[in-house]
Structure 1
Amino acid sequence: MPADRFSTATRLKALGEQAAARVHRVKRRPRRNRLTGRAALLALVVCALVVALAYPMRQYISQRSTIADQRRKAQDVAAALDRLRDEKARWQDPAYVRQQARRHLHFVMPDETGYLVQDGSGARAAPKGVEAAELPWYDKLWDDVDRADHAAAGR
Structure 2
Amino acid sequence: MSSRVKQRAGGKNAVARWVGRNRLWQRLASSGFFNTRRAAVLVLVVAALAFSLAVPLRTYLTQRAEVSVQEQRSANLREQVERLENRKAQLEDPTQIEAEARERLRYVMPGETPYIVQLPGDEGAGGGNDEKPRPAPSKAWYEELWSDMTGN
TM-score tier by shorter-chain length is 0.5 to 0.7
Instruction: Tell whether 2:78 aligns with 1:78.
Output: yes
TM-superposed CA distance for 1:67, in Å, is 1.1
Number of residue-to-residue matches in the alignment: 112
1:87-126 equivalences in 2 (<5 Å): 87-118=87-118
Q: Secondary structure at the match of 2:129?
A: helix
For 1:96 and 1:62, the matched residues in 2 are separated by 48
What letter matches 1:73 in structure 2? R
Residue 54 of structure 1 is matched in structure 2 by 54
For 1:131 and 1:89, the matched residues in 2 are separated by 34
1:33-48 equivalences in 2 (<5 Å): 35-36=34-35, 37-48=37-48
Residue 135 of structure 1 is matched in structure 2 by 126
TM-superposed CA distance for 1:151, in Å, is 6.7
1:103-145 deviations in Å (ceiling 9; x for gaps)? 11222223322212245xxxxxxx52x473x422x336xx39x
For 2:64 and 2:98, the matched residues in 1 are separated by 49
For 1:71 and 1:151, the matched residues in 2 are separated by 58
For 1:82 and 1:89, the matched residues in 2 are separated by 11
1:62-97 deviations in Å (ceiling 9; x for gaps)? 111011101110111111011111111211111001
For 1:49 and 1:38, the matched residues in 2 are separated by 16
- The percentage of counterpart residues that share the same residue type is 34
TM-superposed CA distance for 1:59, in Å, is 1.6
Segments of structure 2 that go 5 or more residues without pairing to the other structure are 1-25, 145-152
User: TM-score, normalised on structure 1?
Assistant: 0.58
1:14-36 deviations in Å (ceiling 9; x for gaps)? xxxxxxxxxxxxxxx79667623
TM-superposed CA distance for 1:39, in Å, is 4.5
Which of structures 1 and 2 has the bigger CA Rg? 1
Contact 2:102 2:108 in 1 (8 A): yes
Contact 2:118 2:126 in 1 (8 A): no
Segments of structure 1 that go 5 or more residues without pairing to the other structure are 1-28, 120-126
